[in-house]
Amino acid sequence: MNKTIFLVGLLSLLCALVDAKPQEKYNVLFIAADDLNNDLEVYGDPQVKTPHLNRLAKMGVRFDNAYCQQPLCGPSRASLMTGLRPDTLDMHTLKHELRKKNPNVVTLGQLFRKNGYFSARAGKIYHYGNPSQIGTDANDDPATWDERYNPAGIDKKQEDKIIRYSKNKGLGISMAWWDPVSRDEDHTDGMVATKIIELMEKPRDRPFFLAAGFFNPHCPYVAPKRYFDLYPLDKITIPDLEEAKRDLKDVPPMAIQRDTKNWPYYFKDITKEQARKCKQAYYACNSFVDAQVGRLLDALERNKLLEKTIIIFWSDHGYFLGEKGLWYKRKAFERSVRMPLIIAAPGFTKNKATQKTVELLDLYPTLADLCGLKAPENLEGASLRPILVDPKTSSWDKPAVSQVWHSPRAWGYSIRTEKWRYTEWLEGKAGRELYDHSTDPNEIKNLAMDPAYFRTIRELSKKLKPYVQLKPHKRKKAPKRTKKNK
């Protein structure tokens, strides 16, 4: 009798195994914005309308304390796509040198390719000069993708119509704007969304890793006029410059050395009204990007892919818009190294936010983990799964570390915990900064010289030290140019 029961049970199990289908793999929609800070409705700023990012946040987890590894497009994006810090990659500039210096690295999209995914991108994922390299492969990595698409819209093809305030620089670093009466699809970012929708709707017998790389709101600030109309100019405010000056009095000179020559706003003779117009244009570009995100979400829903797709929305770093009299990125302050990050993954937490400090290089191990892929063993981030399960988990206490590199004689590192931001310039030789984010979220008061905080500084310096891995040639004085090496 027992033998008969055993055989019947075994037969049932074998039949079940034969009939069972392999578990369906998740798709990945990887959405990138360029130079996007947290001045967004989804992050509590009611002025900057982001209905579609609000919708995405309700589908997943919003990360309130997410940080890049270096507030510069090239090294930030290379770090994210490899899961390795800029020091490990030896990449701190905009040069196209990922494979030259790291020929055997397995990038995020490459990992998905190796595991049977269709990997493709449209637009900017690795560094692109904007708008100079729009429509080209720029600094892209061919090994990451099965297919690559480089659309170019009127923001590239009609550059002569862009209004420029900074005359002596290219459009890639400018205070310039344009508000044409146009369709979204006339612009590069609208074309990027259209191509990604086309790719997700194309029938195929394998899951996809699709990367939508939007160029906005990177300067020049160009978007259809209706997005500008969302932000009446008289409602756009610019911080008081006298107050901004006082904010910088206790900051080490190296922290703002790129910004002091023509302070405020980085360029000579920029007026407050011109800065206000550029801020309006930046906000318009934010809402333009948000609209493209909405198009992607609609396509997922229309094609019944929402429950099969992990969605990541990220920016490569933050951005100053006149705070402290500063503009752009490349600083160790919160506004420069913090950026939006939203993850919506089927079966995980929805409509919650987390205060845990996380890093962009955590995305690689996270996606590998959620999709059941074996990641390279040398990744320097950690899977965000525990936070996606419980945004308040006590098991996550990892700090976020960012760095700034201007030259072998000007560089620094910054560590962020849930309470503190601590920064060392040249390992403290060129100054230190300490800000208490529980009471000073705008980093007005540098506490580094206050004896009451010396113990905190020692503790944070000790935590920071293992991350200072800048290679020797990036620390020394650069050799003088000679006729031979010019």
Tokens 């506004």 label which residue?
A: 335
Per-residue burial over 441-463, b = 16 or more CB atoms within 10 Å of its CB, e = otherwise: eebeebbbeeeebeebbeebbee
Length of the chain: 486
Unique residue bearing structure tokens 């006029």:
225
Q: Which of 73, 219, 278, 371 is catalytic?
A: 73
Alpha-carbon distance of 437 to 442, in angstroms, equals: 8
Rounded Cα distance between 342 and 436, Å, is 25
How many CB atoms lie under 10 A from the CB of residue 246? 12
Answer yes or no: 15 catalytic: no
Q: Is 127 a catalytic residue?
A: yes
- Which one from 52, 68, 92, 127 is the annotated catalytic residue? 127
Instruction: Single out the residue of 448, 340, 462, 343 nearest to residue 399, CA to CA.
Output: 462
Give the strand pairing for 208-213 and 163-164: unpaired
Task: List, by residue number, the catalytic residues.
Answer: 73, 127
